[in-house]
Amino acid sequence: MGRTSAAVVDVATGKRLYGSGSGDALTPASTTKIATAVAALSALGADHRLTTRAAYEPDTKEVVLVGGGDPTLTARKDARGSASLRDLAARTAAALARRGVREVTLSYDTTLYSGPEIHPIGVNGNLAEVGPLMADEARTDDSSSGPVRRIPDPAPDAARKFGGFLADHGIKASPPGPSKSTTRASTLATVSSPPLSVLAERMLTNSDNDIAEALARHTALATGRPADFDGAGAAVTAQLKKLGLPVKGAVFKDGSGLDRRDRLSADLLTALLVKAGEPAHPELRPALTGLPVAGFTGTLTGRYADGAAGVVRAKTGTLTGVNALAGTVVDRDGRLLAFAFLASGTTGQSAAETVLDKAATALASCGCR
């Protein structure tokens, strides 16, 4: 299994029941998303929504599609509860018609974020370019999760789709170009994402990297930092420290865990889960309720075909040579335990996952004291 970091904690009491190298910070892979969820929920609140808007510049008759950093914005007919680019276009067209405007210059504004949009791992099917304006995570098929080829430069693609929807409502729009909404602009229409609680749950259940990077950047914005990779990492660290969590050795180079330079310990991961279960922090509860259920949901659907199915809830983490599992389990006595197992230097994904799954299963069957 290579180098490991492991911890088991009683959620109700906070007592550590087991630890082995628990303070050692290793590459956490996608278990990083637990930290991202807790940081974002604490900084923004569970009810916070991400808003995309259409602004009107009266001097130039320019409509600016202003990206609000909503990675779940959709151009599909069935929005399934997400903010709809089609709805935004319909409302925008109606507002323009009331002004007697039938032809506009179309622009898009991506200035909410700063810094590079390409993740340090480079162009990758596991996530789109990290920008504040995209439709359907810039996916090139009808999928809603998992790796797939992404549309390069997703902001103008979203703006072109928006322009097409405007045309459906009788508004002629120019081909879109980059711009910035000014203070003179008036808001024509807005659409908002589901609440942050829902976004955090979706991120954890599906291991959604696009949502993770967006939530990390919004944590940066909420705490007055630049909305780039460095600012997001600093914001997540600061927010966890503010919650009194053990951040020594922690490194956040991104919000998703795709960067191999990320570092987390089993102590921090279990502390995050315990904090999310505290009655004093109901806003953090989605960090627990979004964890995949063994044998049933998300990244654990095909795992745990045994007595631990339905009892273990955990976030997986997988990179070449890295395997991690962090979550909760109800033991034989009905107690809720938080656990985190990280392994770096593994030589086979399947074998490593089997070891981690057996460890979690053992917790479910024990009367751990």
Residues known to be catalytic = 30, 33, 207
Question: In this structure, which amino acid lies at residue 152?
Answer: P
The structure tokens 């460890």 sit at 359
| β-pair partners for 100 | none
3 state DSSP class of 293: strand
CB 60 within 8 A of CB 105: yes
Give the gyration radius of the chain's Cα atoms.
22
Closest of 71, 66, 88, 174 to residue 129, by C-alpha: 71
E-only strand ranges, 251-335: 312-319, 322-330
Q: Determine contact, residues 125/149, Cβ cutoff 8 Å.
A: yes
Which residues make beta-bridge pairs with 325? 316, 341
Measured distance CA(191)–CA(150) in Å, rounded: 23
Write down the H helix ranges in the chain: 32-44, 85-98, 154-168, 196-206, 209-222, 229-242, 266-276, 286-289, 349-365
CA dist 105 and 148 (Å) reads 33
> Can you tell me the distance from the alpha carbon of 308 to that of 293, in angstroms, rounded to the nearest whole number?
10
User: Can you spell out the DSSP letters for 49-82?
Assistant: --EEEEEEETTTTEEEEE----TT-B-SS--TTS
Cα end-to-end distance, the chain, whole Å: 26
- Would you give the DSSP letter of residue 263? B
The neighbour count for residue 230, using CB atoms within 10 Å, is 15
